[in-house]
Amino acid sequence: MSQLSDREKLVASRIAYEAQWYDRAIFTLSKVGYLNDVDLRFPLAFADEITHSSGIYKINPAWAFAIARRESSFMADANSPAGAKGLMQVMPATAKHLQKRKVTNKRLMNAKDNIKLGTKYLKRLLDRHDGNQVLATAAYNAGPYRVRSWLKGLEPMPADIWIETIPYKETREYVKSVMAYQEIYQIKVGQDVSLFDQIFTMSIAQ
């Protein structure tokens, strides 16, 4: 791939996309610096599974798409150094807690099962934070207990300001990315409401 010209890499990314190798298409476009093709960079990958599971757990499917895009670029067999598995990078311990039993790596690497677990966990985090999606997104990355510690003694502040004060740079950038990705996916799935408008009127408090 490194020996290809930029034009050849763009062609390769299109071929990867059509073969449903979404992560390869995304990474190739990023290397080339070609950021204008929204369809290739933000595919509606695993749309049936994500839409179905999001409906079951009553969460915004655009949010689930954004999480999967940020976590793995839709790589079903993604495996992080920290041990997170699959499309939505679910930790084995989290899966066990959600299912009340051990979940095999085979299931975690199965896209359909992983999406079920990931969306179920998003719903649990959303409920824990009274429907505040910014906090739930931060908790998906940093863990609910760490987010709770950040909120301790916090006076109410606008959500966009709170995001900038997140102590962990990784989580701060993660939340920004997911929110930006969700705005794109809301357009792609036909939602008219702007997530950014909601964030600008949202307050964060203990």
Q: Any idea which residues carry the catalytic annotation?
A: 71
Q: How far is CA 91 from CA 21, 56, 130, 140, 144, in A?
A: 23, 21, 23, 10, 13
Q: Residue 129: phi, psi to the nearest 5? A: -110, 30
Burial of 167 (0-12, 13-18, 19+ CB in 10 A): exposed
Which residues on adjacent β-strands are paired with residue 158? Answer: 203
172: which residues sit within 8 A by CB, 6+ positions away?
Answer: 163, 164, 166
As given in the structure block, the two tokens for residue 158 are 């606008």
Q: How far is CA 72 from CA 21, 39, 106, 118, in A?
A: 12, 17, 17, 12
